[in-house]
Each structure stands twice: as structure tokens, then as C-alpha cells.
Amino acid sequence: MMRTSLAMRSLTITLALACGLSGMARAGVDEALSRHVLPGFGAFAESSAALAASAKEDCRAEALKPAYHAAYDAWMGVSHLHLGPLEQGGRALAIAFWPDTRGMVGRTVAGLVADADPVVDSAEDFADVSVAGRGLMALERLLYEPHLAGYGKGDYQCRLARAISVDLARMAREMDEEWPDFAGLLRSAGAPGNDVFLKPEEASQALYTALMSGLEFNRDQRLGRVMGSFERPRPNRAEARRSERSLRNVVLSLEALRDMARALADGPMEDSEAAFAQALERAEALDDPVLAGVATPQGRLKVEVLAQEIRRIEEAVAQEIGVALGVTAGFNSQDGD
Amino acid sequence: MDRRSFLSSMLFSAAMPRLGWADAGNPAYLAAAREADGAYALYGLGEDGAEIFRIPLPERGHAATAHPSAPEAVGFARRPGRFALVIDCVAGRETHRLHSPEGRHFYGHGAFVEDGAVLVTPENDIETGRGWLGLWARDEGYARIGEIPSGGVGPHDILRLDGDVLVVANGGIRTHPDRGREKLNLETMRPNLSYLTLRGGIEEQVELEPELHLASIRHLAQAEGVVGFAMQWQGDLPDNAPLLGLHRRGEAPVLCAADMAEQFAMEGYAGSVAMSGGQVAITSPRGGRVHVFGMDGQFRASLKRADVCGVAPAANGGLLVTDGMGGVLRIRGEAMRPAQSYDRAWDNHLIRVG
């Protein structure tokens, strides 16, 4: 009798756990969409529209800088969401062409300016310009490169800055409009007729992958590229260093990723919280906007410690969120053969 | 030969009718997978991706090779694996186990020639880094009967073409099992595509331009007299280096790439290639997309699917793909539609039977 009731109880617990897991997976997806993804794209659309409005009013560098920073800040809130709308039509690169391993942004912008290319006078035509000549990184050149930034209202650079801003606002608006439908596909993962997400876990997997890839991008690219090797640190590779956003981007991105992790976890995540707090504290204490400190061994060590702390976030998130959602990093994408 | 094995061989050759793939349920595809409980198995799938048979594997597989007529598959362990299993797909059991010779390891691929009498396995000579093709006689219980040079370093995929010509993807990357998959010669690597026969040796070799020497040629497909080769970029990322080439014997290869943003999104990595119905497709599990090109090398479509890797021709002229989340999807023209969804992770390759 006693044994039966114990067995029954453990069966009940097992069932409750199983139900809890899939319920949690779905709750996490819902929360992440409604609390993080949709508001994030809304904010990016709004600040990009403000950038375009600012450029229409006055496209000179000094006038545009505040709106440029606001739009870039908002981009950091969603830049890790590499699924659905951001995956379409090369948008991710057209918004922020970085890392730029072959110096294409500088060359493309210089080419447009040298030719005074009239493509800037048509929004439709400008949307077909190389992704290296569009978006935040191209705009940064115009606003911060000394030989480009001194332009006046009648100069070509002014029209180019306006075209870039309008194009950015268009892409942000389109994504904001497309996301609700794509969110519907994520929410109905596994339902009949859903050809994109074939099982409920695929929605959690997609958001979890975006979270983990975002963390890895901060560690491996935003910090890793600057760190280079011990013998050869590469401060000139820092992201958006002309507008002194390199460290700011890491901080804002980590904050956005923490926001997403909290929504996806749908419950306490103590180790992840501690790891995020530690990394953010370290990043803010660096007080080195363009990560120039990597040029010295001590400075490089500080950035390396921050990178290690981001790795700790990845480990904690894998344990606390990945395991709970029943998802792991890609089986084939991690294999590589 | 002892009495029992003599008897069983008598039984097999005389009393038993010769079995064909129909006896194994006519699978159209073979694919290895990791199952929900962490175990590994080789599956036979129908045209529509439906499961036909399941045979447990002792370890994670990479690719399999189907015998041209007998219902027999050879499943290869992942690189740097040292064993391959010969599997009777009717009885659902292992009949032979091949071990790479001392100082060698397999690359996860193989091909049959001579009407299925000889199995050919790309191998690494660990000390010298030279690529070899091991030869195994099926009628002698898969005894090792010889070997010939592969024509390069790191021979990976191998295909049989008409006339028993073999085409080998010499990936160019030197590795040593003691150092896992660490790449030991990136600065000097020189991948090639080699055409050869068992008797005549190398007939033709194709190397890309020196600035593409970091494009490791790994996987192969063929149709309409053209060999498609999928590559993996070993340089800094992002890079828009081509990941697909099309080659016709005696001509220069045609390199195929999408627009820059799409090319970057492949993350320098093509995992598999297949050709069918005037289309050629490469998969990128890292980029979560399939790129479809025409046989003229023109880019046609980017189809998104997370962790997608296996791809093989379908009977209707389309393609079938598999992914690490258990999905089986059909590509027809420039559209992709789900066919099946399983609770298992499909491994790198989907192999067409027959």
C-alpha cells in the first residue's frame, strides 16, 4: 500500500514536471515576445523615425549626432534577434555593417561621396545600394570622420546622411510591422499549418539561440576582435570607435540580453543574474569607451576578464534557461565537419 | 574456416535468395541521428521522409554509404573515427566492423565501386598527413585489399561517377587525432578536387585560385555530368568567399555565391550539397539556411531553417533536407515545406539510396 502510494506520487511528480516544462517553454516564449522582442522593435522603429525626421530638418553632423546615438541605442536592444524579419533581405548588415573585415564601409561611403552618386535622391534606389554603404556604420563615417563630417546643408554628404537615415527608418518600420505575424508563428509553434516552427520546442530553441549567439557575439566579436592576440592587440578594430560607442554597445547589448533572459526564464535565474551583474559592473568600471586600453598588457587583461565573465553568463544561461526549456545549442551547427 | 561459418556462408550463398533494397522496405534515404534519450541510430527513410527502419549505432555517426544493390549500408563514425559499421538493413544488425589500419583514421565518408564489390574509404595517414583511399573487398568479408593516394591532404567526401571514376574532395586541412580537430596547416593548405580510378590513379585535379586556398573542399554531389563541391572557409569571418563550385571534367570550375549579405549569413560554412532537377543546394547549419542555385551557378533562393544540414535529391526532381531539431523538409523550386517532424537530431548528412 505504502509502496503503491509512493509510486503514484512519483508518477504524479513526473507528470507535473513534464507538463511544467512544456508550459514553461511556452510561457517563456510568450513573455520574451511581449516583454522584450515586440517592444524592442517598436522602440527601434520609433528612434529610427526620429533620426529620419531629424535628418530632414537638419542633416549636418552636429545636428544629427543625438538622434544617431538614440537610434543606435535602440538597435542594441534588438540587434541579437537574428530570426524572422531581421533575417530578410540582408537587413542585419544593412543596419549595422560590422565587423567590417575588409574596410568596405569606408570604401563604399568614400565612393558615393567622390561620385556624388545621385542614388541618394531616391529612397527606392538607395535601398539597393550595397549594405556597406547604408545603415549606422556608414552614417557614423559621415558624422565622425574629420574629412567628411564638416559638410554644410548644401553638400552631398548632407543628402547622403538623410538618405541613410530615411532608409534605416524604413527598415525599422518594416520589421516592426512584420514582427507581430512572425511572433504569431513562434506562439503557435507545432500547431497544424505552421510551416516554420514544426514543434513547440522549435520556438524556444529559436529564441534561446538568439540569446546565446548574442552573448557570444559580445565576447567573441565586440571584445575578441579588439583583444586580438596577446602579442598583437587590435584597438583599431573596436566597433563604432569613431562615435566612441564600443564599450557602450557591449553594456547596452548585455542589458538587452539580460532582459530577454529574464523573460525567457519566466522564473528566478540566480546564477545568470549574478553573472550578468558581475559582467555589467566590470564593463562599466572599465571606463574606456573605445577599448583603447587593450594596447597595454594590463588593459588587455581587464578586457579579457570581461570576456571571461560573459562566458560565465553563457554557462549560467545554458544551465538555468537552456536545461529548463529542454534546448541546447545546435546539433549540427556546433559540429562542424 | 570453421564448420559453423562454412555452413552459414553456404546457407547465405546457396540457400538464401539474393536480397535487395526492397527487402529492407525500399528506403529512399539513409540518415544518422541522435535520439531524445541520447542514443544514436541509423534510419532508413521513405521518399516522404517517413521512417522505414531504425538500427542502433554505438556512437555518433557522420554519413553512410548505401550499397548499389544489396540492402547493406556502411555507417561511418565522425572524424577522426577509426571504425565503420557494415549494416544489414533487412536484419537490422551489424555484419562487419571495419577498423582503419594502424596510423590511419577515416573521414566519415566512403563509396562503392565495381558494382559494389569494392568499398573505398578516404583516410588520413596520421604521421605524414597524406591522404589515402583504403580499398575493402565486400566478397571477402570486407577484407582490406589495398590503398591508393587520394591526391591531396584531408580527403573527405568521395563519389563514384560513371565508369567507376572516383571524385575525391581533398579538403587540404591537416589534423592529428591527438589534437582533436585542430587545424595544423592553415597557412599552407591547398585543397583540391581529384578524379581518379583504382587502376589508373589520378586523371584530373582541380585547384582554385591561390586567394581561395582557405576554402576547404569537403562535400560532393553530381548530376548531368557536373560535380558540385561544397566548401568551408577557414579564414576570418565574415567573408563572402564562395562556398559552392560546379565542375565539368576538363573545364574550369564555376564558383557560385549569393549577394554579399546572404553570403555572409552562411558563416563561411556549407555542411552538405545535393543536385537534382536542375538545382543545386548547399546547407549551412550555422547560418540556418539553404542556398539554392541553378545549374548555371546563378543564385536562386535562400531558405531559412535552423540547424539544417542534410540534403539529398528527391525522386520528383526536388530536394529533401534534414535538421538538428528532427525536421524533414521538402524543397521544390524555391519553396520549402515540412514533410515530417521527429523527436531526434538528424546528423550532418542525408544519403540517397540507389
The answer on pLDDT for A15 being more than 90 is: no
CA A222, CA A216: separation in Å to the nearest integer? 9
Q: Is some CB atom of chain B closer than 8 A to the CB atom of A325?
A: no
B258 in Cβ contact with B242 (< 8 Å): no
Looking at the structure, do residues A220 and A140 belong to the same domain, yes or no?
A: no
Q: What is the mean pLDDT of residues B192-198?
A: 98
- Alpha carbon B171 to chain centroid, angstroms: 13
**For the segment B230-278, what is each residue's pLDDT rounded down to a tens digit?**
999 999 999 999 999 999 999 999 999 999 999 999 999 999 999 999 9
* A11 found inside a domain: no
Looking at the structure, do residues A156 and A36 belong to the same domain, yes or no?
A: yes
Question: In this complex, how many residue pairs, one in chain A and one in chain B, have their CB atoms less than 8 Å apart?
Answer: 87
ipTM comes to 0.89
The answer on pLDDT for B16 being more than 80 is: no
Give me the percent of chain B exceeding a pLDDT of 90: 88
* A49 found inside a domain: yes
Q: What is the per-residue pLDDT for A22? A: 54
SS3 label, residue A133: helix
Q: Could B236 and A202 be called an inter-chain contact, meaning their C-beta atoms sit closer than 8 Å?
A: no
Looking at the structure, do residues A226 and A290 belong to the same domain, yes or no?
A: yes
The answer on pLDDT for B215 being more than 90 is: yes
Cell numbers describing residue B245 = 563550385
Q: Which of A130, A205, A337 sits opposite B325 (nearest CB)?
A: A205
| Residues 260-279, chain A, touching B (beta carbon < 8 A) | none
Q: Which of B239, B262, B348 sits opposite A332 (nearest CB)?
A: B348
Q: Could A333 and B108 be called an inter-chain contact, meaning their C-beta atoms sit closer than 8 Å?
A: no
Q: Could A332 and B309 be called an inter-chain contact, meaning their C-beta atoms sit closer than 8 Å?
A: yes
Looking at the structure, do residues A303 and A209 belong to the same domain, yes or no?
A: yes
* A330 found inside a domain: no
Q: What is the mean pLDDT of residues A319-330?
A: 88
CATH number of B19-267: 2.130.10.10
Averaged pLDDT of chain B: 93
Give me the percent of chain A exceeding a pLDDT of 90: 87
Looking at the structure, do residues A167 and A33 belong to the same domain, yes or no?
A: yes
Averaged pLDDT of chain A: 92
Q: Is some CB atom of chain B closer than 8 A to the CB atom of A89?
A: yes
Looking at the structure, do residues A319 and A255 belong to the same domain, yes or no?
A: yes
Looking at the structure, do residues A181 and A204 belong to the same domain, yes or no?
A: no
Looking at the structure, do residues A183 and A253 belong to the same domain, yes or no?
A: no
CA A50, CA A44: separation in Å to the nearest integer? 10
Q: What is the per-residue pLDDT for A337? A: 81
Q: Which of A90, A99, A331 sits opposite B307 (nearest CB)?
A: A331
Best probe of the B interface among A332, A334, A335, by most B CBs < 10 A, is A332
Dihedral pair phi/psi, residue B315, rounded to 5°: -65, -30
- Of the candidates B206, B63, B201, the one whose C-alpha atom is nearest the C-alpha of residue B135 is B201
* A10 found inside a domain: no
Q: How does strand B192-197 pair with strand B104-106?
A: unpaired
* A124 found inside a domain: yes
**For the segment A82-118, what is each residue's pLDDT rounded down to a tens digit?**
999 999 999 999 999 999 999 999 999 999 999 999 9
The answer on pLDDT for B3 being more than 60 is: no
**For the segment B287-298, what is each residue's pLDDT rounded down to a tens digit?**
999 999 999 999
Q: Which domain holds residue A290?
A: 200-325
Q: What is the per-residue pLDDT for A23? A: 60
Q: Could B325 and A99 be called an inter-chain contact, meaning their C-beta atoms sit closer than 8 Å?
A: no
Q: What is the per-residue pLDDT for B17? A: 64
**Overall size of chain A counted in residues:** 337
Q: What is the per-residue pLDDT for A14? A: 40
**For the segment A278-288, what is each residue's pLDDT rounded down to a tens digit?**
999 999 999 99
CATH of the domain at A238: 1.20.120
Q: Tell whether the torsion through CA atoms of B124, B128, B129 and B133 is positive or negative.
A: negative
Q: How does strand B279-284 pair with strand B272-276?
A: antiparallel
The pLDDT-based confidence of B186 (bands split at 50, 70, 90) is very high
Contacts of A201 in chain B (CB under 8 A): 325
CA A67, CA A75: separation in Å to the nearest integer? 12
Looking at the structure, do residues A49 and A177 belong to the same domain, yes or no?
A: yes
**For the segment B106-165, what is each residue's pLDDT rounded down to a tens digit?**
999 999 999 999 999 999 999 999 999 999 999 999 999 999 999 999 999 999 999 999
The pLDDT-based confidence of B6 (bands split at 50, 70, 90) is very low
Looking at the structure, do residues A210 and A114 belong to the same domain, yes or no?
A: no
Q: What is the per-residue pLDDT for B144? A: 97
pTM of full prediction above 0.90 = yes
Looking at the structure, do residues A164 and A231 belong to the same domain, yes or no?
A: no
- Asked if omega into B56 is within 30° of 0 (cis), the reply is no
Determine the residue of chain A that is closest to B258 in CA distance.
A90
Number of folded domains that form chain A: 2
CATH of the domain at A89: 1.20.1420.20
Q: Could B306 and A89 be called an inter-chain contact, meaning their C-beta atoms sit closer than 8 Å?
A: no
Looking at the structure, do residues A164 and A225 belong to the same domain, yes or no?
A: no
B303 in Cβ contact with B292 (< 8 Å): yes
Q: What is the per-residue pLDDT for A64? A: 98
* A1 found inside a domain: no
The pLDDT-based confidence of B11 (bands split at 50, 70, 90) is very low
Best probe of the A interface among B107, B260, B290, B303, by most A CBs < 10 A, is B260
